[in-house]
Amino acid sequence: MNIEIWSDIACPWCYVGKRRFEEALERFEHRDEVTVTWRSFELDPSAPAERSESHAEHLAEKYGGGLENAQRMLDSMTETAAAVGLDFDFEHSRGANTFDGHRLIHFAAQHGRQDEMKERLLKAYFSDGELVSDFSALARLAGEIGLDEAAALDALTSGAHADEVREDEHLAQRIGVRGVPFFVADRQVGVSGAQEPDVMLDFLRQAWERRPSP
């Protein structure tokens, strides 16, 4: 059974959803027969290479309600992340365009390291204060998970894998993905959002029962 997951690097619920899904998958009776494919999704394709404002300022501008309310939202998100073992640091996190990060995930997929690259980029963005639009930083992160740093940098500078990112995004539009994370099993069963592990486990079991015959 193949699970495709649409998500963005700059999406806090996507990181939380990844952990909750992993917990559910660990409890799933047929986990050894499940493959996971990460699909690209940009929450803000028009985002600059690096935002000049803080996360709180950006939220206040986007949703209104003032800085105090925005900071409460970030504090709540940090607590939610901590409950699944994640250490969010919004004070030092650097808002950025994620398109090139998605290209790097496709590069990693070619070398069997897609999940490791996705995980490293999420941590880089939410915990380590890395700029995930910077080619040198992205190549270094690729090297940290065992990929060839020079090859990763070459792929980034040459514009490789842009088509794959766009294909993921066009597919998301065709199947009706409006928000992320979004999980699809064998292109038949889907579930939206960072659902609790028990919900995700039910999703996996239902999808298993409905999987196509061999």
pLDDT tens readout for residues 39-72: 999 999 999 999 999 999 999 998 888 999 999 9
**In degrees rounded to 5, what are phi and psi of residue 13?**
-70, -25
pLDDT tens readout for residues 119-155: 999 999 999 999 999 999 999 999 999 999 999 999 9
pLDDT of 211: 84
Residues 6+ apart with CB under 8 A from 119: 18
Strand partners, 183: 5, 191
What is the radius of gyration, based on Cα positions, of the chain? 17
Predicted TM-score (pTM) of this structure: 0.96
**In degrees rounded to 5, what are phi and psi of residue 131?**
-95, 105
User: Quick one: which H or E segment has residue 192?
Assistant: strand 189-192
